[in-house]
Amino acid sequence: MLKKIVKTQRNFIIVKQKLCVEFKCVPDCAQCCIEREYYPSKKFGKIGILILPKEKEKMEKLAKEYDMSINILPRIGVSENKNEKPTIIAYQMMGVDTDGNTCPFLDTKTKNKSPHGGYPCKIYQDRPLACMTYPLIQNNPITLDEKCKFCKEYGTAEENLQSEIESLVKIKTEMNTSMPVVWRYATGIGEERDLKKIKKGWFLEK
Ligand code: SF4
Ligand code: SF4
């Protein structure tokens, strides 16, 4: 708990107390491993879990070990100019449902549970950095994804986010590039009612 001394206009001194909220997953929740969003708009389809190039092979190997097939698409590419083919700096692992939801490594079939009671991750120790980062989307100032159930309940948190911060910094470092042109890949995947609006392939970032 932080104590902040505040001087009022009349020079009275009051002590303001600010509660330091500790981040922890909401009981029984596995929402972030299930629900995928359209990003940055419907045109780009549902996004998958961000996978760095160096994580791609590891995910494919794990899928093989679990005897499952996974769909990894490009996510972000960069190039020196608009006529050049993009170099991929991030991939995305798509959900297994036809609408793009549900990570292939989420165990929804057995009765196993995660420590907080949700569906467990089959590859928890080896999960991608993006999963280790969530729900943190910015570290300075700390910003959490408002779609996370914890965030809906508490808004933000000040404590218990150190490992998420470290993972986010690693992702930013890995994706750092001097190439001026940025491309985003449209996945072509989403709800049936939205399919007409959804594209597939590379588009230049504005
Ligand atoms: S990070 Fe948020 S959305 Fe994901 S399981 Fe925890 S509380 Fe739920
Ligand atoms: S890899 Fe694990 S933690 Fe990451 S989205 Fe899939 S089930 Fe969730």
User: What's 192's DSSP letter?
Assistant: G
From the first residue on, what is the mean pLDDT of each consecutive set of 10 residues in the chain (206 residues)? 44 50 95 97 98 98 97 98 97 98 97 96 98 94 94 89 96 97 98 98 93
Residue 181 beta carbon below 6 angstroms from any ligand 2 atom:
no
Residues 6+ apart with CB under 8 A from 182: 76, 77, 78, 204, 205
DSSP code at position 44 = G
Residue 16: predicted pLDDT:
42
DSSP-assigned letter for residue 85: P
pLDDT of residue 19: 58
Q: Which residues line ligand 1 (CB under 6 A)?
A: 25-26, 29-32, 118, 134-135, 148-150
Quote the pLDDT of residue 179: 96
Closest CA to 113 of 25, 21, 36: 25
Instruction: Give me 66's structure tokens.
Output: 């679990």
Contacts of 156 (CB under 8 A, 6+ apart): 21, 142, 143, 144
Upstream peptide bond of 135 is cis (omega within 30 degrees of 0): yes
pLDDT of 80 reads: 97
Is the pTM value of this prediction over 0.85? yes
Please tell me the residue having the least CA distance from ligand 1 atom 8.
Answer: 29
- C-alpha to C-alpha distances, 169 to 133, 139, 159, nearest whole angstrom: 9, 8, 17
Name the residue ranges covered by the structural domains of the chain.
29-204
* 119: DSSP letter: P
* Interval between CA 103 and ligand 2 midpoint (Å): 6
